[in-house]
């Protein structure tokens, strides 16, 4: 179930007057607006507002031709039918936020008053109406920060906070006042004639967000929604009593949705635990029975070593001085031979495996190379048809398996300064979200954020290697090996030194078949998410 779409549907019904029934005994919204206008005029007389704060207020009405018009303070009237997206109940009214509220007000309180302070990080995104604050003295925050008070609506104006729906109704502020991040537009309702939480429903809607993004101004990465967009936004105003009934209905619906989302989260965790357990059993030799007739993995590795020795003699490859051989000694301990050195590695062996399996370093089973980037990369990017696929981490899904296409290509001249990969090669992220495996289905070049694992099909069923690299056992090794530097990352040596237990080839295929059988059973539950 798409709970985000469900939330949007509920909000859509709410603002259209279709979520709760209308009560003919309610005071019409037209009367409510008159009271708002009168209150704003009184606030001007009392010095709580300046004349400029109300000079742009307008009156929206329906003409005899059944079209919507807007009357401005100078007496001019304009047809705004093209701005009206839908019809509303007879006792509702269309109104701009600036007319029903005050935009970005300032507080006037004693310097020594304690108030709440709210940075942007403390405003929860999404559909929640929550924030966290600490205590500051007013004289220290009254300058250089945004002012707000209890029942004010705060709307994040900077990207990506705006798109992430960082909006909230402030309540429970220390002494009723607060200050905080400058990246907020504040909307203050008038004498509770518009319930703030009702208006919050509008700014949580995708339509509001989409429209605001179109008004963005500023440099890339520092773009902001304009004050005019918020001020001039049209919203539907129901009678005051109906506003409360709508809020109650939205609250009840959201409680149900939260219950669904909680169940959904629990299901996701259960599915993830199940998959993790399957992979754990697989790499321990406990997912399928062993066949004593299978060629042991040790024989496979010996054959590969013999082939390497022949290639070394022929001068086709160089000897790897770090090549290791892991074996079990007569004392039943595990040893590793690198060159002429032999050391006991019992402390590295995490579990016992079937007798025909073999412990081995990953670097002894596949060739590992790092990608490279021709620089400056912008001068190598091309749209020419003979361009080479430029494989970036952004081209793949986090939970995907295959690399099938790229968004960009580089000129063939960039190949010498990069690293070529071919269909069937394994790619492993080595920085940022490191340790994520992918199987390439295309020819291309990779930057230095990738490692490529060559010729995996010599030792592995390619899908078994994928599941092995996806296991928590191997990922935890990568985490330990990647830590310690300024930015956690992997390199060839770290990946090469990862310890794995290799099953016979036939058993690898059996393991893959069993894993994928179980995944097919899980899939219907994932499709519910």
pLDDT per residue over 137-166, tens digit each? 999 999 999 999 999 999 999 999 999 999
471-476: long-range contacts at Cβ-Cβ below 8 A with a sequence spacing of 24 or more? 471/276, 471/279, 471/280, 471/282, 471/283, 472/276, 472/279, 472/280, 473/279, 473/280, 473/283, 473/350, 474/283, 474/435, 474/498, 474/500, 475/435
pLDDT value, residue 175: 97
Q: Looking at the structure, do residues 319 and 248 belong to the same domain, yes or no?
A: no
Q: What is the pLDDT of residues 484-512, one digit of tens each?
A: 555 567 889 999 999 999 999 999 999 99
Q: Looking at the structure, do residues 20 and 118 belong to the same domain, yes or no?
A: yes
pLDDT value, residue 432: 64
Q: Looking at the structure, do residues 325 and 418 belong to the same domain, yes or no?
A: yes
Cα distance between residue 199 and residue 173, in whole Å: 20
Residue 483 or residue 293, greater confidence: 293
* Pairing assessment for the beta strands 408-410 and 444-446 based on DSSP bridges: unpaired
Cα distance between residue 509 and residue 282, in whole Å: 11
* Residue 35 belongs to some domain of the structure: yes
Number of domains, the chain: 2
Residue 522 has pLDDT above 90, yes or no: no
Q: Looking at the structure, do residues 222 and 315 belong to the same domain, yes or no?
A: no
Residue 91 has pLDDT above 70, yes or no: yes
* Residue 186 belongs to some domain of the structure: yes
Share of the chain above pLDDT 90, in %: 76
Cα distance between residue 426 and residue 422, in whole Å: 9
Q: Looking at the structure, do residues 214 and 304 belong to the same domain, yes or no?
A: no
Left, alpha or beta for 17 (phi > 0: left; psi -120 to 50: alpha)? left
The answer to whether residues 483 and 460 touch, using CB atoms and an 8 Å cutoff, is no
CATH number of the domain within which 397 lies: 3.90.220.20
User: Which of 262, 289, 314 is where one domain is finished?
Assistant: 262
Q: What is the pLDDT of residues 238-271, one digit of tens each?
A: 999 999 999 999 999 988 888 888 888 888 888 8
Q: Looking at the structure, do residues 301 and 258 belong to the same domain, yes or no?
A: no
Cα distance between residue 2 and residue 12, in whole Å: 15
Residue 431 or residue 329, greater confidence: 329
Residue 2 has pLDDT above 90, yes or no: no
Residue 322 or residue 33, greater confidence: 33
* Band (482; pLDDT cuts 50, 70, 90): confident
Q: What is the pLDDT of residues 49-63, one digit of tens each?
A: 999 989 999 999 999
* Residue 411 belongs to some domain of the structure: yes
Mean pLDDT of 413-437: 90
* Residue 379 belongs to some domain of the structure: yes
Q: Looking at the structure, do residues 91 and 212 belong to the same domain, yes or no?
A: yes
Q: Domain range spanning residue 432?
A: 297-506
Cα distance between residue 12 and residue 398, in whole Å: 32
pLDDT value, residue 305: 84
Residue 526 has pLDDT above 80, yes or no: no
**In a 10 Å sphere around its CB, with 0-12 CB exposed, 13-18 middle and 19+ buried, how is residue 455 labelled?**
middle
Cα distance between residue 382 and residue 52, in whole Å: 54
Provide the 3-class DSSP secondary structure of residue 509: helix
* Residue 477 belongs to some domain of the structure: yes
Q: Residue 431: which of 494, 474, 518 has the closest Cα?
A: 494
Q: Looking at the structure, do residues 329 and 257 belong to the same domain, yes or no?
A: no
Q: Looking at the structure, do residues 122 and 166 belong to the same domain, yes or no?
A: yes
Name 417's Cβ contacts closer than 8 Å, sequence gap at least 6.
372, 373, 374, 375
0.75 surpassed by pTM: no
Mean pLDDT of 400-412: 93
* Residue 244 belongs to some domain of the structure: yes
Lowest mean pLDDT of 62-66, 202-206, 345-349, 429-433, name the range.
429-433
Q: Looking at the structure, do residues 65 and 196 belong to the same domain, yes or no?
A: yes
Q: Output the average pLDDT for the chain.
A: 92
Cα distance between residue 391 and residue 388, in whole Å: 9
Residue 527 has pLDDT above 80, yes or no: no
Residue 457 has pLDDT above 90, yes or no: no
pLDDT value, residue 484: 58
Q: What is the pLDDT of residues 109-125, one digit of tens each?
A: 999 999 999 999 999 99
* Residue 271 belongs to some domain of the structure: no
Q: Looking at the structure, do residues 244 and 312 belong to the same domain, yes or no?
A: no
∠ Cα 308 310 311 (to 5°) = 65
Residue 213 or residue 316, greater confidence: 213
Name 106's Cβ contacts closer than 8 Å, sequence gap at least 6.
147
Q: Looking at the structure, do residues 254 and 356 belong to the same domain, yes or no?
A: no
Residue 327 has pLDDT above 60, yes or no: yes
- Is residue 376 reached through a cis peptide bond, with omega within 30 degrees of 0 on the bond before it? yes
* Residue 314 belongs to some domain of the structure: yes
pLDDT value, residue 276: 92
* Band (1; pLDDT cuts 50, 70, 90): low
Nearest 5°: phi and psi at 39? -65, -40
Starting at the edge strand that comes first in sequence, how are the strands of the sheet with 381-382 ordered? 381-382, 408-410, 388-391, 444-446, 419-421
Helical segments of 331-471, H only = 462-470
Nearest 5°: phi and psi at 139? -65, -20
Q: What is the pLDDT of residues 332-349, one digit of tens each?
A: 999 999 988 999 999 999
């Amino acid at each position: 179930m798409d709970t985000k779409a469900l939330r949007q549907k509920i909000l859509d019904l709410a603002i259209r007057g279709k979520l709760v029934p209308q009560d003919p005994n309610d005071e019409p919204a037209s009367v409510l607006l008159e009271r708002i206008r009168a209150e704003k005029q009184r606030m001007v007389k009392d010095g709580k507002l300046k004349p400029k704060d109300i000079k742009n207020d307008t009156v929206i009405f329906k003409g005899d031709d059944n079209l919507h018009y807007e009357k401005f303070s100078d007496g001019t009237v304009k047809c705004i039918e093209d701005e009206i997206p839908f019809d509303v109940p007879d006792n509702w009214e269309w109104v701009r936020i600036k007319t029903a509220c005050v935009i970005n007000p300032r507080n006037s309180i004693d310097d020594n008053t304690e108030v709440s302070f709210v940075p942007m990080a403390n405003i929860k995104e999404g559909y929640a109406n929550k924030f966290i604050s600490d205590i500051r003295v007013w004289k220290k925050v009254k300058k250089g920060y945004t002012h707000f008070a209890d029942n004010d609506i705060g709307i994040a104006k900077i990207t990506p906070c705006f798109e992430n729906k960082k909006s909230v109704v402030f309540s429970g502020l220390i002494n009723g006042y607060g200050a905080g991040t400058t990246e907020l537009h504040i909307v203050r309702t008038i004498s509770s004639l518009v319930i703030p939480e009702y208006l919050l429903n509008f700014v949580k809607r995708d339509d509001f967000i989409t429209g605001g993004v179109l008004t963005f101004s500023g440099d890339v990465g520092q773009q902001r929604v304009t004050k005019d967009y918020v001020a001039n936004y049209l919203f539907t105003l129901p009678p005051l009593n109906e506003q409360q009934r709508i809020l109650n209905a939205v609250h009840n619906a959201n409680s149900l949705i939260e219950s669904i989302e909680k169940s959904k989260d629990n299901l996701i965790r259960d599915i993830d635990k199940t998959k993790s357990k399957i992979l754990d059993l697989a790499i321990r030799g406990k997912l399928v029975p062993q066949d004593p007739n299978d060629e042991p993995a040790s024989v496979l590795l010996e054959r590969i070593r013999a082939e390497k020795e022949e290639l070394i003699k022929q001068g086709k490859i160089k000897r790897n001085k770090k090549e290791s051989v892991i074996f079990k000694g007569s004392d039943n301990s595990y040893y590793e031979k690198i060159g002429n050195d032999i050391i006991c590695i019992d402390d590295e062996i995490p579990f016992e495996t079937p007798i025909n399996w073999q412990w081995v370093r990953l670097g002894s089973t596949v060739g590992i190379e790092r990608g490279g980037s021709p620089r400056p990369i912008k001068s190598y990017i091309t749209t020419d048809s003979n361009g080479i696929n430029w494989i970036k981490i952004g081209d793949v899904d986090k939970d995907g398996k295959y690399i099938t296409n790229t968004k960009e290509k580089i000129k063939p001249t960039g190949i010498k300064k990069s690293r070529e990969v071919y269909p069937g090669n394994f790619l492993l992220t080595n920085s940022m979200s490191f340790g994520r495996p992918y199987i390439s289905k295309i020819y291309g070049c990779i930057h230095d954020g990738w490692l490529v694992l060559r010729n995996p099909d010599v030792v592995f069923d390619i899908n078994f290697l994928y599941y092995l690299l996806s296991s928590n056992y191997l990922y935890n090794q990568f985490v330990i090996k990647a830590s310690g530097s300024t930015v956690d990352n992997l390199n060839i040596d770290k990946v090469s030194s990862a310890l794995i237990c290799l099953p016979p080839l036939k058993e690898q295929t059996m393991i893959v078949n069993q894993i994928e059988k179980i995944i097919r059973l899980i899939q219907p539950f994932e499709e519910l998410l």
